[in-house]
Amino acid sequence: MAQEREPEKASLISIKMRAAQGGPHERGGRHISGEERIVREGDIEACLHEMLERATTHQRGKADFMNLKLQLVDMDCVVYKPMLDFSECVSRTAEEGRDVAVRELVAAGVTETAARAGVAAILALPDSMRGAMLLDAVTGGRVDHLGNRGVRVSNMDVADPDAFRRALAAKGLQGDHVREALVLASKVASGEGVVAELCWSDDPLYVTGYVGSVKNGYRRIPVLKQRNCGIGGRVFFVKPETDLDALRDYYEEQVVFITAGAKGYVTEKD
């Protein structure tokens, strides 16, 4: 197997994009799409081009507002976390998918009450959130008090894009959705106090979702919502004693590279 190579120490740039329709998010614009990457300097242009394309051709609508932020990444502050193991469940309808999701959440350590509350919380959303809701993994009560903003998960990418692509291809996987979801789910699962995550997409034509946990890995659920439904979201289930400020800081600020392929590579500050 090819060795995963360590990212270069210098000149990695974080690029964050968020796009909305009807003006900026903070002035009531409807969220259309968001993406972030950490790339080498020479790849900035190609990355910006891809992001522009994505924001203007998205299934949720054409963006008329786009915010871009570029920032040098301090490699001394980076931590490395492993990609979650990937496996697939069976579901043919949204109802079946939700039953599977509850089963998977319970298997990961969430109570059935909390699992059902998580599914209901996403179903009750009036529109997609950019961030995630935090729910107590025992009671199912919401604990983040961040309303429609939720907790964002930011500052992450794959440690080695080629190794990651090979690891996905070996499982017959390709495409932005699954790549980005696996990176995000792997960072989420590595958060202190988190038991599991439930997610399904807000792209109207993308009906797939997953339950992620350190215990059982990334459990993909092929159908988890109705087709043509543009509402999706994320719920993170946390242990009751979790330090929520520290968890939020880790998700929003800590730069994390997700490693795939070469076991034993997870060394630096891990």
Residues that bind ligand PML (CB under 6 A): 177-178, 181, 199, 201, 203, 206, 208-210, 220
Beta carbon nearer to ligand PML, 210 or 250: 210
Give the shortest CB-161-to-ligand PML separation in angstroms: 18
| Strand 209-213, strand 12-21: pairing | unpaired
Give the shortest CB-239-to-ligand PML separation in angstroms: 24
Beta carbon nearer to ligand PML, 13 or 178: 178
Give the shortest CB-175-to-ligand PML separation in angstroms: 7
| Strand 194-200, strand 233-238: pairing | antiparallel
Across the beta sheet with 65-72, the strand order is 30-40, 12-21, 65-72
Beta carbon nearer to ligand PML, 78 or 133: 133
Q: Which helix (H) or strand (E) holds 233?
A: strand 233-238
Give the shortest CB-8-to-ligand PML separation in angstroms: 28
Q: Are 33 and 58 in contact (CB under 8 A)?
A: yes
Residue 212: strand pairing partners: 197, 218
Give the shortest CB-224-to-ligand PML separation in angstroms: 8
d(CA 116, CA 106): 10
Q: SS3 of 15, please?
A: strand
Give the shortest CB-81-to-ligand PML separation in angstroms: 18
The CA distances from residue 136 to 67, 143, 202, 245, in Å, are 33, 6, 23, 15
Beta carbon nearer to ligand PML, 80 or 218: 218
Q: SS3 of 215, please?
A: coil
Closest residue to ligand PML: CB criterion: 201
Q: First CA to last CA across the chain, in angstroms?
A: 23
Beta carbon nearer to ligand PML, 171 or 263: 171
Beta carbon nearer to ligand PML, 14 or 128: 128
